[in-house]
Structure 1
Amino acid sequence: MHIIDVLVFLVFTGGIVLMGSLFYSKDTSAKEFTNAGRSIPGWVVGMSIFSTFVSSISYLGNPGKAYASDWNPFVFGISIPIACWIAAKWFVPFYRNHDSVSAYAFLEERFGPWARIYASACYLLTQVARMGSILFLLAMPMNILMGWDLRTVIIITSIAIIFYSMLGGMKAVIWTEAIQGFILIGGALVCLGVLMFSMPEGPMQAIQIGWDTLDEAGRNKFSLGSFSLTDLSHSTFWVCLIYGVFINLQNYGIDQNYVQRYHTAKTEREAKNAALFGGWLYIPVSALFFLIGTCLFSYYKVFPDAQVAAFEAAGKTDYVFPYFMVHSLPTGLTGLLIASVFAAGMSTVATSVTSCSTILLTDYWMRMRKHVHRKGHDHSRGIGDKEHLMVLKLGSVLIGVLGICVALALVNVDSILDAWWKLSSIFSGGMLGLFLLGYLSTKVKNIHAVIGVLCGFAVIAWISAWNWIGLPNPGLHEYLAIVLGTMTIFIVGFALVLFIPVKKK
């Protein structure tokens, strides 16, 4: 790697860590650590939401999928406008008017402590799995670039992210994410330009090759998948779309990463605009990543490479984009692209670290330490507030370590995008169904919700792990686990109101 690329990478990456560290203040309270004092401009919050969407899973996983197959996973992004519109109209006002920064405090009010613990535990599992996937993808370019050990890069990167997340809290995370958003978009645009203008017959040759290349089903590289309404065992257009609708409704409706950002905007109006802006911006940027993957396919059709062929044979198509960065970009641009990959991953991991530590404080520690609610010890600058800050920072370290462990376990996985989507579908656990039960009807009581969740969990286990637990194959794709799990919780909970009436106290 040229010294100029090293300097570009270090300047961009080191600058992000330094910027996040500058938000450190000895006078920061636990409340300011978790909601930034409701002082962040709406456009910055919107860029932060966008950056949370665009992790290294998108930056490397999406091009890898487009290179290996087609644009079917892009359908996931098409569903986002539905979710962000619902969020701006109902979710943002609901959470802004709620006392707690935790997304799951409402569930305790409706159904009791078990509901809050269940949802927050599912959230923590989901975020740890996501962090592990992203940390692995962050380390991959440096492994190809420098020959550095994947495990070493994962650990060092994690320490840097945890460091500035601990120091500056939510304010540091959101402002650095906004800057990282611009870096990752700029880097992707530059890479696409280099790819397309490197083709011997001009930019349109990259498009034409992708259009003319057909798979066994006769679909080209730009295909959004099969439109069959009866095939639910494969990732068809409709399976991917319905999965995206449910996942994104869950993201905007009950994911602490997003809910916590609603609290950081200056006004409710700015929070609504942030939700819309962050969601809509993801669609063209997501298309940009898939186009890069298709152009990579065309590029290596015209310029065959033995190492790329080896990646294909091993099923390691996620490695093709980093390999192109290292071996085909002009000096200086390689460092910029690697920095943009790091920007995408660091922003999302920092978000998960801060949001998870907030949940550990609000949903676990403060429940076990009821005496902190005594006068002078709740969100004050006394002993209670110092204790809260300490829990937030230690929680950041704990979550970071768990993320490292997952990343190390994913080193031999073929497709990180597939792995992450399956894990998120399982760990999400139908949280959206429980939230909708409490949000849409006051008639649904604790007993109805408990039975609904148990039924939903059984459905998720059946679809996701039928072969492990000795059940017959349901003939459904794993992406549908969260869809059917959510619907089961919701339908069973409502139906039980008719059969198990609960008298008012």
Structure 2
Amino acid sequence: MTEFGALNWTILIIYIVANLLLGLVIGKRIKTDNDFYIGQKTTPWWAIGISVVATYVSAMTFLGAPAWAYKDGLSVIAIHLNYPLVIMIVIIFFFPFFYNSGVASIYEYQEKRFGKRARALISSIWLVSQTMSSAAVLYATSAVLSFITGVDVIAAIFIVTFIALAYTVLGGITAVIWTDVIQSIILFAGAGIIFYALLNESSFSVMDSLAQLKSEGKLNPLITDWDFNATTTVWSGIIAMTLYHTTVYGTNQMMVQRTLAAKNIGDAKKSYLLMGFAAFFIYLFFIILGVLFYSYYQGKTFDNENLIILEFAAEYGMPGLMGLIAAAVMAASMSSLDSAFNSLSTVTTIDFYKKYFKKGAPEAHYLKASRLFTLFWALLIIFPAIMYHLHSSGSILEVLSKVGSYFVGAQLGMFGLGFFSKQATENGLLVGTAVGFVAVVAVAIGTDVAWPWYCLIGAGFNVIVTIIASRIIDGKQHELSEYTVKGQQLKFAREGLAEKENGWYRIPGKVDRVNYWLFAFFILTLIFLWSIQYMV
């Protein structure tokens, strides 16, 4: 590894200081706890959309996607085919419930639909799963900074935590969104330079590289085998991962919270539609980068595949490039960490502290509490991050996805039952959620079933057991909750409420016209990928 150098340090430090200053400036506008959670509803939809993209792309994609594709080839794209379907489901069914109610914590829906225990349960599940996921992001970033700068990994974990914590505490969700916009620019600039340099340095033409990869079986994006033990088949991507990512985008406070800062439901939907149309190209770019690295290095074995992109950048030797890459990786990471810190604090304050421990306090008190809880979660995440450092191997993107897969079935089952089941009750839901989680753990330990299917398994057990347990414990339900999709539609009709606002549906279950274009885009991506294996 070459010396990091003064120029690289200058670039990295300027980036860090700029983020802190932005948090300081925005923080002066934060007057209430609600400002901290969802801002003042003045943020433009495109900024929220970029923030959504940046948060989920993160350092996991910057490092992990090329590493995963280096190992498994272009088939990794199957895991990311589903975003158009996911975004359609979320904006049709989830957004109307969250936005119309004016909540800051999306888990308040569970209390309205089922009761306090259901809300406490899903909030707790999310707090645990998000802590583990954020710790993986923190570890990945710190490993990169250690590789680039020579700083110890554990020391880097503390440094990255402090930087992301500082501007999040100062500026709340608004600072999170606007720093994400800046961070996404840096991230894609760094990735673009690496891609250009790789093509420029390679002794093979792109077509020669693709032909070699095809001969080695790494250029087939659509593996159609019905093998439930394989991770990257088209079926796991379209069926299993559609459910997985629906949970990520529909039941994850970290992702949904920023859309609640939109001016209206139309802007909230447009911010997610940006991800629906852009995600395929983003992930395809990083996955192609990985398969081109495989060609460039002729399949060389790396001790840590997550560092391939950094090895190449160091070899390339462009002045300031390592500083830009370090800033890009920090940008990718902090776009996820800042969101996690803010949303963990929001859920803790609203769903637990305000509800059970300190009711009726002044807004200034809750704002202070939110900032203290932000500090608490930032410090807590450090410990599992250190554990990842000591025990993790393989693609960090795959590791992160596996961690999340244990929890998403429970979350999806709880919301799915709330939306569509008349017979599900709170008592039955608690039983079903527990059984669903046990089923996932049993499958993970006792079988070779690939992790993308864990969501389907967990949610399936949850739904079936909940319906049975609800009937046994509470008997047949005769009244339809107004917090089901059907109940909301009946309420809108009964009370004469406007179904649309500024041309966008406020009522769940209604399809905005742009969703048809999104579905058509999904079909076109399948056709494009299918054609790749015949183009070379």
After TM superposition, the score normalised by the length of structure 2 is: 0.83
The residue number in structure 2 matching 1:404 is: 382
Preserved contact between residue 21 and residue 167 of structure 1 (Cα < 8 Å): yes
Per-residue deviation, 1:454:
2.6
* Cα shift readout 1:76-101 (whole Å, capped 9, x = no counterpart): 21111111112222322221111321
| Corresponding position: 1:139 with 2:119 | no
| Residue in 1 that maps onto 2:257 | 260
Whether the 8 Å CA contact 1:50–1:279 is kept in 2: the answer is no
Q: 1:313 to 1:169 in 2, by over 3 A?
A: closer
Question: How is 1:141-160 mapped onto 2 (pairs within 5 angstroms)?
Answer: 141-160=144-163
Contact 1:455 1:488 in 2 (8 A): yes
User: Is the Cα contact below 8 Å between 2:63 and 2:309 reproduced in 1?
Assistant: yes
Displacement, 1:448? 2.6
SS in 2 for 1:428: helix
Q: Which residue number corresponds to residue 419 of structure 1?
A: 399
Q: 1:85 to 1:24 in 2, by over 3 A?
A: same
Q: Identify the match of residue 179 of structure 1 among 182, 186, 205.
A: 182
> In the alignment, does 2:449 pair up with 1:476?
yes
Q: Deviation at 1:199?
A: 1.5
Question: Would you say the 8 A contact 2:97–2:109 is kept in 1?
Answer: no
Tell me, yes or no, if the aligned pair for 1:63 and 1:293 is still in contact at 8 Å: yes
Aligned to 1:469: none
Q: Secondary structure of the residue that 1:347 maps to in structure 2?
A: helix
TM superposition shift of 1:197: 1.4
How far apart are residue 370 of structure 1 and its match?
5.2
Equivalent pair of 2:423/2:477 in contact (CA under 8 Å):
no
Counterpart residue type for residue 266 of structure 1: K
Cα deviation, residue 233, structure 1: 1.9
Structure 1 gap segments, 5+ residues each: 378-383, 467-472
Q: 1: distance between equivalents of 2:174 and 2:111? A: 27
TM-score normalized by structure 1?
0.88
Query: CA 1:370 to 1:147, structure 2 compared with 1: closer, same or farther past 3 Å?
Result: closer
Residue 356 of structure 1 aligns to a residue whose secondary structure is helix
Of 424, 438, 443, which residue of structure 2 is paired with 1:458?
A: 438
Of 324, 343, 357, the match for 2:345: 357
Q: 1:392 is matched with which residue: 358, 364, 370?
A: 370
Mapped partners of 1:46, 1:132: distance in 2:
24
Are the counterparts in 2 of residues 463 and 478 from structure 1 also a CA contact under 8 Å? no
1:138-180 CA distance string (max 9 Å, x none):
1222222222211101111110100100000000000111121
* Alpha-carbon distance in structure 2 between the residues aligned to 1:3 and 1:248: 42
- Per-residue deviation at 1:12? 2.5
Shift in Å at residue 439 of structure 1? 1.4
Alignment correspondent of 1:501: 475
493-502 or 85-94: bigger deviation: 493-502
Which range is displaced more, 104-113 or 140-149? 140-149
Partner of 2:500: none
Residues 317 and 388 (structure 1), Cα distance of their counterparts in 2 relative to 1, 3 Å cut: same
Going from structure 1 to structure 2, the CA distance change for 1:503 and 1:180 (only over 3 Å counts) comes to: closer
Residue 530 of structure 2 is matched in structure 1 by none
Alpha carbons 1:199, 1:205 under 8 Å: kept: no
Which amino acid in structure 2 is aligned with residue 366 of structure 1? K
Share of identical aligned residues, percent?
Answer: 24
Contact preservation (8 Å) 1:445, 1:502: no
Secondary structure of 1:97's counterpart equals helix
The structure-2 alpha-carbon separation of the partners of 1:258 and 1:71, relative to structure 1 and needing over 3 Å to count, comes to same
Q: Alignment partner for residue 230 of structure 2, among 227, 234, 244?
A: 234
1:225, distance to aligned residue in structure 2 (A): 6.3
1:206 Cα offset (Å):
3.8
2:501 aligned partner: none
Secondary structure in 2 aligned to 1:69?
A: helix
1:207 aligns with 2:210: yes
Question: Equivalents in 1 of 2:431, 2:79: separation in Å?
Answer: 30
In the superposition, relative to structure 1, how do residues 104 and 326 fare at CA in structure 2: closer, same or farther (>3 Å)?
same
* CA distance 1:436–1:503, change in 2 (3 Å): closer
What's the CA shift for 1:57?
0.8
Cα-to-partner distance string for 1:181-204 (whole Å, 9 max, x where unaligned): 122122211110110111224444
**Counterparts in 2 of 1:27 and 1:196: CA distance versus 1, 3 Å:** closer
Ranges in structure 2 where 5+ consecutive residues have no aligned partner? 480-536
**Matching residue within 383, 386, 408 for 1:428:** 408
Counterpart amino acid of residue 287 in structure 1: L
Deviations 1:244-273 (A, max 9, x none): 211211122211012212210112111111
CA contact (8 A) 2:86 2:242 kept: yes
Q: Give the number of equivalent residue pairs.
A: 472
1-side partners of 2:283 and 2:359: how far apart? Answer: 48
